[in-house]
Each structure stands twice: as structure tokens, then as C-alpha cells.
Structure 1
């Protein structure tokens, strides 16, 4: 099992993962990154503007990037 760190960036705020999580496979790492992004967006989007992008960068124990994913969330008023 190897330890991976999931750092989240939203353009202005960076949340660094100091603990990391152990996974057996890189597929599990990707799945965790994809689960993490909607949770972050759900928590942060209500407090931010209508255009947001959330990126998770996963690094290994040696701090080498192994995976990155970005979720964009855009809300636009359709009335004036």
C-alpha cells in the first residue's frame, strides 16, 4: 500500500493534505479524487461567486504528482 496526498485548489485558496491516505491501486486514487471534488464544490460554492473551478492534485509519498482532476461549476442568473 502506498500513501497519497490530495491537495485542493480553487484559484485562491489551497487546502493541503498533510496526512495522506493509503491506497492499493492507482484506480482507487483516481476514484477518491473524483469523489472529493463534488464534496468540495458543494461546501464552497455557496460562499463564492458564480464561476468556480476546483482542482485536486494527487501526489505520492515523494511529493511527485500522479493525478490531477478539475471540476468547473458555473451559475448564471437568467433574470434581471
Structure 2
């Protein structure tokens, strides 16, 4: 799974890709109900749309869809 996440870094046009496990912080507000976090920074919606359609992204979804119970996505614009 981690290797699959790392393939997403190869998608051209992304500003940054961060992959990590939950931090060892112990506060009530922290959500630790996940195994891996993926943060992808993109310049604009055009890049976002290309990312969604990219073969590597689609391959990751197809291969690992059965590995998760829940996916949480936070899309936001700055």
C-alpha cells in the first residue's frame, strides 16, 4: 500500500506530495483513526482535474480500493 501511495508522487504537475503515519501526539482533538495520510498540493483546479484522471491515480484506486474502510478527503483552496 505504501509503495502504491509513493507512485502518486510521479504524477507530473503536483507541487508537493506528503505521505505519513499518524504523529505520536496525544491530544483529544487529534484523529488517529487512520493508517496513512496523503497530502497533495496543487497549483489550481486544472491540475486537480488532471490528477483525478491520471493513469497512476486510477491504477492506485483500482489496486487498493479494497484496502480501506473509509476515506476522508479535505479539498480546500487558498
With normalisation by structure 2, the TM-score equals: 0.31
Whose strand proportion is higher, 1 or 2? 1
Whose helix proportion is higher, 1 or 2? 2
Pair member with larger Rg: 1
